[in-house]
Structures are given as C-alpha cells and as structure tokens.
C-alpha cells in the first residue's frame, strides 16, 4: 500500500549514542517532515524539507540533523542522544497545495536511557 | 507565527450522542488550512477533515463536521452519533501560506472517551 514507511518502530539508546531514523514515501510528494510527540505537547516540528535538495529547521531542531537523500527519503539523525530526546517520532509527507491532509508514518518510539 | 489552542484536555461523551471538540487558532496569514486528526491508542495519525480559509461552507466528512467561524478564529470538530471506536486523542492543526505554507502546527490535543 502507498504511504510513508518509518524504520525502526522501536529503539532504545544509551545516552551519547547516535542513530538515524529512516523515512521513505512512495506517493511522489515533494514535501517531507519530521515531528516529535511528547505527552501533553502535541506534535512539534523538528525539521522539514519543502522539496528535494532543501531542508529547514522547525520548532525544535536542536540535537538533530536531517538529510533529504532523494525525493522519496528523508532521514533524521541524532548525533549524541540525550534522555530529553525520548519521544515518539513521526515522519510525514505532503504536496504543498494538496487540499487535505498530510500522510504520516506509523511512528518510531525512541527511548534514551 | 501560528498557534493552535485546544482548551479541553479531556472530554467524555455517551455513545450515540454528539460531541464538540474546541479549537481556536491564531495566524496573520490570509490563506490557511485547518485540519483535524485522530490518534487512537495504536498511535497512528488519521486525517479526518480539512477546511480552507476561503471555503464558504463548513466541511463535512461522514459523521465529522467542522464548525468554522472565521471571525472568531475557531474551527471546532463536531462528531455526531459517537461510537466506542471514536475514543482517541484528537488534534487540531493548521497550515499557513507563504513561508509557513509547508508546515503543520498542532494543538496539544483533546482525549475523547466515549462511554457505553
């Protein structure tokens, strides 16, 4: 089925470790996003890519880097994980002028100990 | 900057009754879009309904309708004939225009519980 695929679904890291969250979409969307969800905070934008070759900071970019590898793939990297980065991470994609919603991946539950 | 406010952390409704989930927004953009998403306990984000700022009629999708009051900057979600499966977290979100066109800004959500 068409959609947004995130890997892994679950991950436990030790403080200071690094990891990359992968995201791929097969809907030929131009724009892709990374959000984090924390209890009581809703979803907050970390980084986004309006189109292939561009990336921009969102509301909470500190401690993260992103790469728009191609039109399909948008990865999120934690260089030195901290307990404050324990969260559920969602990748999403959309067309800029699409009437309707964004398509979200199923999420990655990350725990940093 | 855009802001979404959902003032109801939790709501309870009896099965088969209607319920309104509140959402107010703030933006300086003339053109914008408003969204509602459902997040069940399984965690996925499910798109429910969309309202464009220039749409003259309130959006409806099955049992979901959006009560859009532009002057009051409100975009309340109305769920008619609630079902047990409607128990979930509900998020209001908006997308602006121009430099913020690409980004969805979310509220903190309302946890809806449907009682049998």
Contacts of residue A58 in chain B, CB cutoff 8 Å?
103
Taking only the tens place, the pLDDT of each residue in A16-55 is 999 999 999 999 999 999 999 998 889 999 999 988 999 9
B35 touches chain A (CB under 8 A): yes
For the residues of B46-70, what is the DSSP string, one character each? Answer: EEEEEEETT-SS--EETTEEEEEET
Q: Between residues A80 and B101, which one has the greater pLDDT? A: A80
Contacts of residue A92 in chain B, CB cutoff 8 Å?
45, 104
A27 touches chain B (CB under 8 A): no
Q: Is residue A96 predicted with pLDDT exceeding 90?
A: no
At B103 the pLDDT is 82
At B97 the pLDDT is 76
Q: Is residue B56 predicted with pLDDT exceeding 90?
A: no
Contact flag A90-B45 (C-beta cutoff 8 Å): yes
At B96 the pLDDT is 81
At A99 the pLDDT is 63
Q: What is the mean pLDDT of chain B?
A: 93
Which CB contacts under 8 angstroms, 24+ apart, belong to B41-48?
B41/B88, B43/A88, B43/A106, B43/A107, B44/A104, B44/A106, B44/A107, B45/A43, B45/A90, B45/A92, B45/A104, B45/B91, B47/A100, B47/A101, B47/A102, B47/A103, B48/B77, B48/B90
B37 touches chain A (CB under 8 A): yes
User: If you measure CA to CA, which chain A residue comes closest to B91?
Assistant: A42
> How far is CA A23 from each of CA A28, A86, A94, A108, B99, rounded to the nearest angstrom?
13, 18, 13, 10, 24
């Amino acid at each position: 089925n068409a959609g947004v695929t995130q890997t892994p679904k679950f991950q436990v890291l030790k403080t200071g470790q690094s990891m990359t969250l992968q995201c791929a979409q097969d809907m030929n969307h131009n724009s892709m996003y990374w959000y984090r969800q924390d209890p009581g905070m809703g979803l907050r934008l970390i980084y986004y890519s309006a189109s292939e070759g561009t990336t921009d900071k969102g509301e909470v970019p500190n401690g993260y880097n992103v790469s728009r590898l191609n039109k399909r793939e948008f990865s999120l990297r934690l260089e030195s994980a901290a307990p404050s980065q324990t969260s559920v991470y969602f990748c999403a994609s959309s067309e800029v002028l699409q009437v309707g919603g964004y398509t979200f991946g199923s999420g990655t539950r990350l725990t940093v100990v | 900057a855009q802001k979404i406010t959902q003032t109801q952390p939790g709501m309870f409704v009896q099965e088969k009754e209607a319920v309104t989930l509140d959402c107010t927004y703030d933006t300086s953009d003339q053109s914008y879009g408003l969204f509602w998403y459902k997040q069940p306990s399984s965690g996925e984000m499910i798109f429910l309904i969309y309202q464009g700022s220039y749409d003259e009629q309130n959006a409806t999708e099955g049992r979901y309708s959006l009560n859009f009051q532009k002057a009051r900057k409100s975009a309340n979600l109305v769920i008619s004939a609630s079902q047990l499966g409607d128990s979930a977290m509900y998020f209001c979100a908006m997308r602006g225009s121009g430099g913020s066109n690409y980004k969805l800004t979310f509220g903190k959500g309302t946890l809806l519980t449907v009682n049998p």
